[in-house]
Chains A and B, each alone.
Chain A
């Protein structure tokens, strides 16, 4: 059943990604070059709706969140590497798959590279665990928790900031 949910969710997600044109190299690199914000509009819109929905479910007691642990070492080094790789490839892991579905061959080269990246990560994991993941490790924390305010205040502020950003993008035709 879980497999069926997975493929159905994936099909809908791939459909939406394609319809919003976010699977394209030109859009992805356009966002990194700050000349086309299509991807940022898509991502932030998804974040606004999802953060409201997820915290509503949580407050109703319907779900529990399992927050990923914060490690400054892992997230700063990993995030930087991810950015370099994303800039070279022009797709993130999910969109490389979608780009392939749209007929973009370079998505396939990216997927092959990512499989090798996974193998490489597994090979050096004992090193990263000891020297990088252990750096600045804070455990499972969240923004509302560390600031000590209600999560709805954080969501409200972020949503307002994102909408201001959208307004700016539209004014500048980005």
Chain B
């Protein structure tokens, strides 16, 4: 159970159960994207940018502003990193890897190229997620 991989159906069903329990016990639905917007406000504040000039960081009593952290979802995202690390160590899947296999086949082994595309993808994906409210 801890060493082998799980069927996606089983792992998905258990995840569904985890979500239901989370809603019942702590009233929280699973999500991650808002944490990156909130963290951006904390980083801006740390480097001396006045975040109050951004309406997004002050709207709904600063729901997305620097004072909103730490919160449940930030800890949830940190937990994902820990949980994935533990599971990958147990199953022997942990591997420091700069270029995924499918990327390498199509675009080659230049780690800088992969880093640039991953970074730009991250910018666009998070912008889209925040706009859609996901």
* Contacts from A to B (Cβ < 8 Å): 1-26, 29-30, 38-39, 41-50, 53-54, 57, 62-63, 68-69, 71, 74-75, 77-90, 92-94, 96-107, 109-123, 125-126, 128-129, 132-133, 166
Q: How far is the CA of A79 from the CA of B51 in the complex (A)?
A: 26
Partner of B71, one of A2, A39, A89: A2
- B67 near A: Cβ within 8 Å? no
| B127 contacts across to A, CB distance below 8 A | 78, 81, 85, 117, 120-121
Partner of B78, one of A10, A29, A75, A112: A10
Tell me if A's interface is mostly helix, strand, loop or mixed.
helix
- B109 near A: Cβ within 8 Å? no
Contact A14 B100 (CB under 8 A): no
Instruction: Considering the complex, give the chain B residue whose CB is closest to the CB of A120.
Output: B127
* Contacts from B to A (Cβ < 8 Å): 5-20, 22-28, 30-33, 35-41, 43-44, 51, 54-57, 59, 64, 70-88, 91, 93-103, 111, 114-134
| B99 contacts across to A, CB distance below 8 A | 106
Interchain Cβ contacts under 8 Å between A and B, 14 examples: A8-B79, A20-B10, A50-B15, A74-B131, A82-B129, A88-B118, A92-B125, A102-B88, A104-B95, A105-B98, A110-B118, A116-B123, A117-B127, A123-B54
